[in-house]
A and B are shown apart, each in its own frame.
Chain A
Amino acid sequence: MSFDKSHIRNFSIIAHIDHGKSTLADRILELTGTVEKRQMKEQLLDSMDLERERGITIKLNAVTVSYKAKDGEEYIYNLIDTPGHVDFSYEVSRSLAACEGALLVVDATQGVQAQTLANVYLAIDNDLEVVPVINKIDLPSAMPEFVKGEIESRIGIDCSSCCEISAKTGMGVEEVLESIVTMIPAPSGDENNPLQALIFDSYYDSYRGVIVNIRVKEGKVKVGDEIRLMQSGKDYLVTEVGIRVPQELKTNELTVGEVGYLAAQIKDIHDVFPGETITLKNNPAKEPLPGYRRINPMVYCGLYPVDSRDYLDLKEALEKLTLNDSSLIFEPETSQALGFGFRCGFLGLLHMDVVQERLEREYNLDLILTAPSVVYKVVKTDKTVIEIENPSKLPDLSSISEIDEPYVAASIMAPKEYVGPIMELCQERRGVYTDLEYFDDTRVIIKYDLPLSEIIYNFFDKLKSYTKGYASLDYEFKEYRKSDLVKMDILLNGEVIDALSSIVYRPNSYKRGLAIVSKLKAVIPKQQFEVPVQAAISGKVIARADIKSVRKDVLAKCYGGDISRKKKLLEKQKEGKKRMKAVGSVEVPQDAFMAILSIGDDDK
């Protein structure tokens, strides 16, 4: 199957979360006959169980489909589905770099949202042709004309020939397929030029080694070619190339403009990273393609195996995951309380959550996560600056001259009647007001600079509940600012538990200490002896709660000889206990280490 590149269209679908990207992708697969209707399931491109269960896209996914257009010609579409959550905007920018155009899906009942704007700007920055699509017009509350007006006036994209569709019913999707031909440019490049192929994703296959997803920008590549990774300088022999339809289909070669996969017996997962350029060893390109901006993780947490014997398995699992998820980083660390583990950096909380679940499901590991922390910059009295990703590593106060914390520029879009509550929430969270503008007659965009640490503690949930779910949020890192911060230690039974330390805003520390000790008291089961839980700053206890001792733990009734039932009960308890970590003499459940996260503002 070889096509001249004027018949190839490479595009992404971008949208705010829940506006219908994956559903539109499903319909496109169905209408192009790529997937037979009986094999169709929802969110077909979302191959992770986790994605389907949560109804979100986490990973970008690429698929090749063929479409017979009204001009009688057959076209090859390479569609790349992208995530919509703010945590994963990095994935979006990666997929955009492999495309010439993007379908911008906007929910006709909700209109433009914070992530719509963020994704559109990413697409425009990548020089993509943006094709607006108004979705969910079958809903009674749809207001397509209004939404079109919004897109034209606020984003500046012409909506005169905009498609109005229902991805759910399939209405209008045919026109979308047509407009891809007419509106999105064919790829440029020349197949006679030296090979330049952009790696935009990769994953590990135990038989074939690392498989990379590539977009050929110049030249062509075939099985048997000797390739070179331009930045790492390593050479490999191509063993397989092909496209996804969506299952893998081997082809002879991938040529300019095409999107597909490539295997070359790449054994070491560290040798490949997205943004890398592949060229031919014998006829190399002069320079690599512009890669991706390396995204720095925003939040860090400790990841430890519940059973310390699983340490090496966890290491291996993390290595494999990073191949597929280059925004995840990790390095070994040791905790007195939890033993050997890793400090891991994530794009955000959802990302952290997803990584945890993937490790537990795909690699069958039992994990303890410590509460997430941002990266603090500590200026010491000798003027040296260190970065602290783990609160327990904060040096002694006497050697610190100042602590800086990351601030983000947040924009919150919401109906204007919620301005009061939103501002109240932002003030509570130490936000600094920067701007308020009317997006249209009914909605405003409120801009605040907020400490990232305040955002990761439950901010989004609060925002949703303050605005009955109407607000959308986007944010990006702005700068480091000096703050009045202190380290708060937690003591169990008089012992400092390093994994429970956190860095807190000093004026809030009493309330926070109290909230944390009460929360821990609630989540740690009764022990055989009374266990005091204390919060302390610089050795001074500021809050305390006591976990009562267990008085009775025996089933007095156990006769009739039905001992099997008793055994099952005990075995179930034992299973539960496996998920506990003995910290000193206290048995602490996994989720206690994350307990700080779920403290609401009411108890803060």
Chain B
Amino acid sequence: MPFQVAKSLYVHIPFCDGICPYCDFCKVEKSTHYEQGYLKALLFDIQNLGSRRFDTVYVGGGTPTCLEDDNFLRLLKALSPLLEIGGEFTVEANPESLSEAKIAMMKENGVNRVSIGVESTSRKNLLFLGRKHSFDLVKDRVYALKKAGIDNINLDLMYGLPGEGLDEVKEDIDNLLSLSPTHISTYSLILEKGTDFYARGIKEGEQEEVADQYELINDLLKKSGYHRYEVSNFSLPDKESRHNLVYWENRPYVGLGAGASGYEDGVRYRNTFSIPRFNEGKRKVEEEKVDRDSEASYFLLTGLRLAKGISLKEYRSLFGMDLLSNRKEAIDRHIGLGNIEIKGDRLMVKEERMILLDRVLVDLI
């Protein structure tokens, strides 16, 4: 079976104005002066893509908008021609660095989707999370984007903070809804090694409370017309992130930049986290040749994150085996537990049980 050609491109910008205490992504403080070298290396890789064209381009970070204006512009100008007509071009931003100038550059170079790291709308929690903006600034920037004609906007929200109450989560959601974004991503706080929070011994919210918050978020957003199409992603009809769907539908994508991962020609890879080494030419540090069994696991663990689940026919044609008979015991058990259901050709995790997804996955992969 020939490999599908990757039609999605992820570009990582590992710079931030400040380091958030919970973040374990690949990033450094902007003041470290790696920016010029990094951009040079990255632009080189982009040029190497030659005449390839992509349906989705996603610039993530870090904080892409914290780049110097001229660097930001060079990057967008390099990426813009790679986008197919009608393609989705997303840039991640934080409110402080989403300047009028950058908005204009984005508009000019075909960026049609912006994802803003809001994380919280209360002063208290923003302070705790080490974020330097206010919700007023978020409102202002969303307004500016819309005015500039970029109205496909995602807002990121964190919940599950230690001691956070349901009322606080409700207020956050109400605030986000007041901005009428097309898309909302919600993430519960996860303590990762190597972060400031971890070192300080901060704890995640209690499981019971986080579960209640997860359910509340789903209820509130559903009532307002937002559909949870993936574990932590909500959108208005037809406004799903086309780029993220590539991940969940187990399709190939190119990853450029330090710490970026990609999946092409049956190989999943990840680039070095070290920015100086990236600048010196180091790229892939991990490569996994995905065999058929492994591929089948990926297919399930990505596909079942989606509300629509997976196609049994597709599974059969890809892997030459019937999932229902192959994993009969586990599937029967989870149907019996009310965790999954089969509708026509599709097998999916039930909406109210998405919160237990990993329990299902462990038995199915």
Contact = CB atoms under 8 A, between A and B. Distances in A.
Interface of A: 528, 550-564, 566-567, 570-571, 573-574, 577
Contacts of A570: 297, 301, 358, 361-362, 365
11 contacts: A528-B337, A551-B211, A551-B212, A551-B355, A555-B358, A557-B188, A558-B231, A558-B305, A561-B255, A567-B294, A574-B365
B44 interface: no
Contact of A552 (B211, B244, B297, B301): B211
B301 A563 contact: yes
B298 A563 contact: yes
A570 B208 CA distance: 22
Given A552-B211, A552-B214, A560 B358 contact: no
Given A556-B187, A567-B297, 10 more contacts: A528-B359, A551-B208, A553-B359, A557-B187, A561-B253, A561-B261, A561-B263, A563-B298, A567-B294, A570-B362
A553 B214 CA distance: 11
Contacts of B188: 556-557
B60 interface: yes
Nearest to A576: B362
A552 B207 CA distance: 7
B278 to A, nearest CB: 16
A528, A555, A559, A563 — most chain B CB neighbours (10 Å): A559
Nearest to B286: A564
A550 to B, nearest CB: 7
A562 B231 contact: no
Interface in B258-281: 259-263, 268, 270
B356 A563 contact: no
Given A554-B231, A573-B362, A574-B365, A561 B247 contact: yes
A581 to B, nearest CB: 14
Contacts of A554: 231, 354-358
A553 B301 contact: no
Interface string B92-116: 0000000000000000000000000
A554 B213 CA distance: 14
Given A557-B190, A574-B365, A563 B232 contact: no
A66 B255 CA distance: 69
Contact of A564 (B207, B259, B261, B305): B261
A573 B358 contact: yes
Contacts of B305: 558
B10 interface: yes
A559 B261 contact: no
Contacts of A562: 261, 270
Interface residues of B, number: 48
B128 interface: no
A553 B211 CA distance: 9
B302 A563 contact: yes
Interface in B2-49: 10, 12, 25
A563 B211 contact: no
Interface of B: 10, 12, 25, 60, 185-188, 190, 207-208, 210-212, 214, 231-232, 244, 247, 253, 255, 259-263, 268, 270, 286, 288, 294, 297-298, 301-302, 305, 337, 339, 354-359, 361-363, 365
A551 B207 contact: yes
A560 B359 CA distance: 23
A18 B365 CA distance: 48
A555 B286 CA distance: 22
A550 B356 contact: yes
Given A550-B359, A554-B358, A570-B301, A560 B232 contact: no
A552 B355 contact: yes
Contacts of B259: 560
Q: Which 3 A-B pairs have the closest CB atoms?
A: A551-B211, A552-B211, A554-B357
Contact of A557 (B207, B232, B339, B362): B232
A528 B263 CA distance: 34
Contacts of A571: 297, 365
A570 B253 CA distance: 22
Nearest to A572: B362
A574 B358 contact: no
Contacts of A552: 207, 210-211, 214, 355-356
Most buried by A among B25, B247, B305, B361: B361
A560 B187 contact: no
A165 to B, nearest CB: 51
Contacts of B288: 564
Contacts of B362: 570, 573-574, 577
Nearest to A575: B362
B357 to A, nearest CB: 4
A566 to B, nearest CB: 7
A560 B25 contact: yes
B273 to A, nearest CB: 11
B301 A556 contact: no
A306 to B, nearest CB: 15
Nearest to B230: A558
A555 B192 CA distance: 12
A557 B212 CA distance: 17
A563 B268 contact: yes
A329 B358 CA distance: 42
B258 to A, nearest CB: 12
A574 B361 CA distance: 9
Contacts of B337: 528
A550 B358 CA distance: 12
A158 B339 CA distance: 77
Contacts of B211: 551-552
A441 B186 CA distance: 75
Contact of A567 (B244, B260, B301): B301
Contacts of A567: 294, 297-298, 301, 365
Contacts of B60: 560
A552 B255 CA distance: 31
A25 B186 CA distance: 66
Nearest to A557: B187
A563 B357 CA distance: 15
Contact of A563 (B190, B214, B247, B339): B247
A566 B231 CA distance: 14
Contacts of B25: 560
A558 B211 CA distance: 17
Contact of A553 (B232, B268, B355): B355
A577 B360 CA distance: 12
Contacts of B232: 556-558
A563 B301 CA distance: 9
B40 to A, nearest CB: 23
Contact of B301 (A550, A561, A566, A577): A566
B356 A553 contact: yes
A417 B260 CA distance: 68
Contacts of B355: 551-554
Nearest to B244: A559
Contacts of A558: 231-232, 305
A567 B305 CA distance: 13
A552 B302 CA distance: 18
A564 B286 CA distance: 10
B335 to A, nearest CB: 13
Instruction: Indicate the member of B356, B357, B362 with the most A CB atoms within 10 Å.
Output: B362
B221 to A, nearest CB: 14
Contacts of B210: 551-552
A424 to B, nearest CB: 41
Contacts of A561: 10, 247, 253, 255, 260-263
A564 B263 CA distance: 10
Nearest to B349: A554
A555 B190 contact: yes
Nearest to B329: A582
A138 to B, nearest CB: 46
A552 B213 CA distance: 11
Contacts of B363: 574, 577
Given A563-B302, A564-B270, A566-B301, A556 B358 contact: no
Contacts of A528: 337, 339, 356, 359
